[in-house]
Amino acid sequence: MKTRVRLSAQVQGYFAARAPDGRKVFRAALKSLASWKGRADPPRIRFLEDELGGYVRLRVGAHRVIFAEASARGRREIQCIFAGPRSTVYEAFAELVLDELTRA
């Protein structure tokens, strides 16, 4: 089954704001997700817990990309939802998730 990696507008913007060398590292890391087999790959890939359970993070140096896995029309999809520096990404993403839950 072929895997498709989709990037949210936030991830695309964060990725585009990196210096050329940083973009190259991000591009390689995001491409590697297409071959990810759904297992933890410490320390690069970890399943998140508590209020962020159901999401997974990819470590790219000092940056983190939060993603979720899904299936659409028989095709496996990895949806990269949020990216940011390690120091703030989890809190910012938790606020985003909480905001979406309260709107629903």
* E strand or H helix that includes residue 98: helix 89-103
**pTM for this model (two decimals):** 0.89
pLDDT higher than 70, residue 8: yes
The residue that leads in pLDDT, 61 or 39, is 61
Check residue 74 and give its pLDDT. 83
Distance between CA atoms of residues 66 and 82, nearest Å: 5
Best CATH choice for the domain 3-103 from the list 3.40.50.720, 3.40.390.30, 3.40.1190.10, 3.30.2310.20: 3.30.2310.20
Q: Is 57 helix (H, G, I), strand (E, B) or coil?
A: strand
- Rounded distance, CA 92 to CA 97, Å? 9
Digit-coded pLDDT (tens) for 25-55: 999 999 889 888 888 887 799 999 998 999 9
The β-bridge partners of 46 are 57
